[in-house]
Amino acid sequence: MTAVEHRTSPVSFEVTHPAGPGTRARAGRLQTPHGAVETPIFMPVGTNATVKALDPDDLREVGAQIILSNTYHLSVRPGHERIRDLGGLHHFMGWDRPILTDSGGFQVVSLGDRRSITEEGVRFRSHLDGSLIDFTPEHAIAVQEALGSDIAVCLDQPVPPGSSSRADVTDATARTHRWAERCLEAHDRPDQALFGIIQGGLESDLRASSAAAIAAMPFDGLCIGGLAGDESAAERRATLDVVVPLLEGDPRPRYLMGLGSPMDLLDAVDAGVDMFDSVLPARVARNATLWVPEGRLNMRNARFLDDPRPVQEGCECRLCRGFSRAYLAHLLRADEMLGYRLATCHNLTFTLDFMGKVRTSIRAGTFPQTMRQLRADRAGTNGADSRDEGRVKSE
Amino acid sequence: MTAVEHRTSPVSFEVTHPAGPGTRARAGRLQTPHGAVETPIFMPVGTNATVKALDPDDLREVGAQIILSNTYHLSVRPGHERIRDLGGLHHFMGWDRPILTDSGGFQVVSLGDRRSITEEGVRFRSHLDGSLIDFTPEHAIAVQEALGSDIAVCLDQPVPPGSSSRADVTDATARTHRWAERCLEAHDRPDQALFGIIQGGLESDLRASSAAAIAAMPFDGLCIGGLAGDESAAERRATLDVVVPLLEGDPRPRYLMGLGSPMDLLDAVDAGVDMFDSVLPARVARNATLWVPEGRLNMRNARFLDDPRPVQEGCECRLCRGFSRAYLAHLLRADEMLGYRLATCHNLTFTLDFMGKVRTSIRAGTFPQTMRQLRADRAGTNGADSRDEGRVKSE
């Protein structure tokens, strides 16, 4: 990989603990205009300028260092220009720590029949009122500049990794590269970083050439897109094992978009990824699935109605320090908002604590042992189901 | 009114500032097993062992000194015996301040076609699964003893005040008295107070005889039921003007059930009432109606989408100190739970601050002037609608 020229970047990334023997896991610090982020990091998703059911104090309490918000959704409602005129996204939602905005690429492309893709961009019908919207690379950048996130992301064209033809992947990857250049050209906000997105599906040669193409551009960070979809864990790992070694020596953070299941995160950290986001912990919480070291508890199960224990002994979250499994099970059955909030607090605390343990072990040089231990913890005891959830990207 | 004999009461009520010239408004302090309550007081309603959208920290922050929870709802789900076995309602919901439980009378009677009333009690079909439940005075007491509230309330038979025949009111009032005696007989929990309920509809002679009958029993407090329904404000005031003078010299607190609109509260305080409850402030908040000194703001109005101001300048609630009208309007349009929580925090803060101002003025001997000022504040400025809402009793 050749060295790249950087403009003066509003973010800086330092790998404080490089990969060691037996793993590519590394720890670092990403400095942004709204403060530092310790990596590897998980970013909770605040689609509509709120992480569902939580307020900013809750977010600080669960340990969120940075959140993601969705460019597409905010551009449609309440409108990025409105948010800009109200002082930007941080002020609008009362969150003074870093924000990364996605590009809208995933949401736009996932609309299926509601959109058409051309070289110019994506034309689609609003999910709210059916009006026609042209989402071009330039528009994606303009929206993110108006929102004022710390980190903007290029518009890309992801394709379902496990079920796309090589021709489709080739085409979408090449377009993603052209759109990346247009995003770079359009981007003009000096206090906002811009990340590029590597595509290439599950085709190792296309992944390799995409990694080379995107890494050659002066982005502030490198996203690995088009995963966390319908691929298997082995296919995902194989893809990371193509991409990450090609980025060795590259000074920029690596961000795998859309991954949120703890065991998936663990494997991707091992593969050398620094940043993650997903709605998964919050969404499954609202569906009454609580994450614990042994796996997951389905709070709809009748036995929890009489269970005086906290969801997770020793957990410091708002749910576990104040309430029983019985109370949570009651709230969820009664469709009470407090139940969704408490469950979300727990799952995000669990996920961010999990990443904290991962960072600590990387710094201590013991990540491979910690990884084995965390996997072994999921033994299906404590009434927990040790299977993983599927993956979802926005809400 | 004759003096009544009291058993050793778990609560004590002291009128610290008796009624003065031109008003029957008075201030006092109700000591309960879970702490003191300053009166006049408004009690937020936590139907399902949670005040909708709020957690106990939110409740403390809005200034709640005591909350009401619904006996009927909790007996059906999750079940009062379950709550007892889990340590009682305070522990179950994480609320260590006083709780008053209603008797279930209003809910049971309001079920209409789903219930039949006999001398024994009310037989009805569960609103959840249609199963048959017999709600007798003894059962209402057993449920409340299991819940362990600080204050229990007798099962009564309210009737719609504005639309009931004199014969119906006479019958229901006499039954309420007989049920009151059965409740007293059944009640056996020494750390729980028991309040009786005065009925009598809008018939002044029936109200007077009901006040005499209930006041003659050794209750710890006296509820005025069967109001806050379909009667006019003038009819309600006329009824209070019959009941309260008859209770002059009676050492017990007076609790008007189901009233929650600020102007209604003001008038009832003036009439000599000490305690109130209603779901109204929280329910209208979830319907995007925010209370301000001038009246109310409908946050669905499009102009608020661009309004950077807080809902109420100077308000210390979680909403007003951190977020704009624009953000709240966005959250409510996007159906985000945080919107409902923030709106509820504001309306309850508004209501409890309002009652705080009322108490302060009573203590200062300036209540009549303050009442005039609070009424004058509602001048329809600030874009606020100065009309009052209707009334609702449970949720």
DSSP-based three-state secondary structure for B123: strand
Residues in Cβ contact with A258 at an 8 Å cutoff, skipping those fewer than 6 apart: A106, A227, A228, A229, A277, A278, A391, A393
Q: Kindly report the nearest CA distance between residue B263 and chain A, in angstroms.
A: 29
Give A162's pLDDT tier (boundaries 50, 70, 90).
confident
pLDDT of residue A389: 59
In the set A102, A220, A264, A270, the catalytic residue is A102
CB contact under 8 A, A48 and B86: no
E-strand spans in chain A?
12-17, 27-32, 35-39, 41-46, 67-69, 99-101, 115-117, 122-125, 132-135, 151-153, 193-198, 221-224, 254-256, 275-278, 289-292, 295-298
Backbone phi and psi for residue A118, each to the nearest 5 degrees, phi listed first: -125, 175
Question: Contact, B326 vs A78, CB < 8 A?
Answer: yes
Looking at every residue in chain B, the average pLDDT score rounds to 93
Active site residue B57: no
For range A360-386, the mean pLDDT:
84
Q: Kindly report the nearest CA distance between residue A338 and chain B, in angstroms.
A: 5
pLDDT of residue B116: 87
- Return the axis-axis angle of helices B337-364 and B262-270, rounded to nearest 10°: 20
CB contact under 8 A, A336 and B93: no
Which DSSP string corresponds to A282-349? HHHHHTTEEEETTEEEETTSGGGGG--S-SSTT--SHHHHH--HHHHHHHHHTT-HHHHHHHHHHHHH
Cα B172 to Cα B201: distance, rounded to the nearest angstrom: 9
CB contact under 8 A, B49 and A342: no
Per residue in B94-124, pLDDT tens?
999 999 999 888 877 777 777 889 999 998 8
Q: Which structure tokens are listed for B233? A: 């404000």
For range A93-110, the mean pLDDT:
89
For range B57-81, the mean pLDDT:
97
Among A189, A186, A124, A199, smallest CA distance to A156 is for A199
Cα A198 to Cα A250: distance, rounded to the nearest angstrom: 14
Question: Contact, B41 vs B51, CB < 8 A?
Answer: no
Name residues 330-349 of chain A within 8 A of B (Cβ): 330-331, 333-334, 336-338, 340-342
Q: What is the ipTM of this complex?
A: 0.95
Among B349, B159, B358, B391, smallest CA distance to B258 is for B391
Cα A352 to Cα B80: distance, rounded to the nearest angstrom: 37
Per residue in B227-248, pLDDT tens?
999 899 999 999 999 999 999 9
Cα B23 to Cα A352: distance, rounded to the nearest angstrom: 58
Question: Contact, A30 vs A56, CB < 8 A?
Answer: no
Q: Cα–Cα distances in Å, from B347 out to A296, A388, B286, B318?
A: 37, 41, 10, 11
CB contact under 8 A, B86 and A54: no
Backbone phi and psi for residue A195, each to the nearest 5 degrees, phi listed first: -105, 140
For range A241-265, the mean pLDDT:
97
Say yes or no: B48 contacts chain A, CB-CB below 8 A. Answer: yes
Residues of A in contact with B324 (CB under 8 A): 86, 92
pLDDT over threshold 90, residue B127: no
Active site residue A188: no
Q: Which structure tokens are listed for A26? A: 């590394």
For range B311-336, the mean pLDDT:
98
Say yes or no: B318 contacts chain A, CB-CB below 8 A. Answer: yes
Cα A139 to Cα A15: distance, rounded to the nearest angstrom: 33
